[in-house]
Amino acid sequence: MDVQPYEALLLVSFGGPEHPDDVIPFLENVTSGRGIPRERLAEVGEHYQLFGGKSPINDLNRELLDAIHKDFADRAIDLPVYWGNRNWDPYLRAAAREMAADGITRAASFVTSAYSSYSGCRQYREDLYDATTGLNIELDRLRHYFNHPGFVGPFIEATGAALEAAPDGTHVVFVTHSIPHGMNNASGGPDQQAYERQHQSVAQLVATEAGAEAWSLAYCSRSGSPHVPWLEPDINDHLEMLAEDGVTSVIAVPIGFISDHMEVIYDLDTEAMATAKRLDMRFDRVDTPGAHPSFVTMIGDLLVERAGAERGEAPDRIALGEFPASHDRCPIDCCLNARVSLPTIGGA
């Protein structure tokens, strides 16, 4: 398949610790410049220690990489695939240097974050700019895919299967990472609130197609100052409210996440499940896309789509729900950094 002008694909992820001694340095990377006390980092670090001091995210990325390589081979997409993380080894800068050493001058990047927000998009674009500074590499970010059937479809499939096995009256709770209100307001542009609106749209799509009779959206993984308002309700508080309303069975659908990493296995599988058990509530959690064939195929499809657009063609741009397919290049005021203006890749 024709993917010119691209010479490589870069898989871009968050990163995570792989050994107990990595945990605090990793969290220091994540919170750099935010003034988070070391005591708070140690508290969060305990979540990782419950799982041997290791996040599953890097292994999940390795699994995704293997699946992409196989998909590319099956579809005759002759392109090398590199991998870099924002916050832990292998770092983006190392991946960019490896590409440069291999003679790559034009590459597309696939970010493992589906929605619009500063932390989910612009911060990655800032870090990609830093990673490629001084290198002869032009890097494009493939578009957001929150409403692409390759991302939404696996959630519909998993939620439908979970509902079939659940008792009547089961309530579906869609869950994503909470962010500050200010970040949500700036997502997609000033006062656009794209982050929240995109999640509501995806939740509605999945609920309708999977046959959910009752559903809601909740948040997890809040951090930072308690004086700064973040999106609510927290999943644990929400389970309390549902129990008060007589709900006895819940299915949690982590629509904000690409794979079953720490926010899923701790915030949902550990904390939320413990809350549900205390409330005598049946609790089930469906899988994230991970290396689902539809999700893997979507990555190649987005690459082919963007390559066609860069060649001046008008490729089909698939999207579900109320939002159109996302832009290829972000507007200059999209998901602004609230602290400082920094250069990015992938801007209009």
Express each pLDDT in 72-123 by its tens digit: 999 999 999 999 999 999 999 999 999 999 999 999 999 999 999 999 999 9
CATH 3.40.50.1400 segments of the chain: 9-146+291-310, 149-285
CA angle at 232 for the pair 127 and 86, rounded to the nearest 5°? 15
Tell me which of 2.60.260.20, 3.50.50.60, 3.40.30.10, 3.40.50.1400 is the CATH number of domain 149-285: 3.40.50.1400
**H helices within the chain, ranges in order?**
23-30, 38-49, 57-74, 92-101, 123-132, 149-164, 181-186, 194-210, 235-244, 262-265, 273-278, 293-310
Q: What is the pLDDT, as a whole number, of residue 165?
A: 98
SS3 188: coil
By DSSP bridging, strand 138-141 and strand 81-85 are unpaired
Q: Residue 226 pLDDT more than 90? A: no
Q: Are 310 and 5 in contact (CB under 8 A)?
A: yes
Cβ neighbours for 58, distance < 8 A, ≥ 6 positions apart:
15, 16, 18, 85, 88
Averaged confidence pLDDT in the chain: 96
Cβ neighbours for 15, distance < 8 A, ≥ 6 positions apart:
26, 29, 57, 58, 85, 86, 87, 88, 89, 91
Among 48-62, 160-174, 224-238, 249-263, whose mean pLDDT is lowest?
224-238
Residue count of the chain: 348
Going by C-alpha positions, the residue among 136, 142, 138, 81 that lies closest to residue 106 is 138
Mean pLDDT for 228-257 is 98
| CATH class assigned to 9-146+291-310 | alpha beta
SS3 218: strand
